Amino acid sequence: MENFIDLYCERTAAGFWNEPVNALTNLAFILAALIAWPTAWHRPQRSLIEMTVIALVAAIGVGSFLFHTLATPLSGALDVIPIWLFFLPMSC
């Protein structure tokens, strides 16, 4: 794994757990989405926007986790694209 991206001072080498704090903190996004989705789904007045935001929070968590563990160009894209989609409506 010689082709890795080194953008953060936490990463000192290639390898799956070389950014452990960044990787583990992204699990909070996934946990929040796992809690929010069934809660929102079972309410009679849920909206498409609400469910989309919850799905984007999960995608942000997964993408960031992958980037902070794999640190490849593909995982970098999986990290930033959901974040861009999350903020896109605010920029319009």
Side-chain half-sphere exposure of 8, counting CA atoms within 13 A: 15
Token pair, residue 47, equals 């909206």
pTM value is 0.83
Give pLDDT tens digits for 41-75. Answer: 999 999 999 999 999 999 999 999 999 898 889 99
Q: Is residue 75 one of the residues assigned to a domain?
A: yes
Counted domains in the chain: 1
**Domain assignment present for 45:** yes
Please give the residue range of the domain that contains residue 54: 20-91
Residue corresponding to tokens 């974040």: 83
Candidates 12, 6, 24; CA nearest to 64 is 24
Does 14 map to a domain?
A: no
Q: For 1-39, what is each residue's pLDDT tens digit?
A: 456 676 666 676 777 888 888 889 999 999 999 999 999
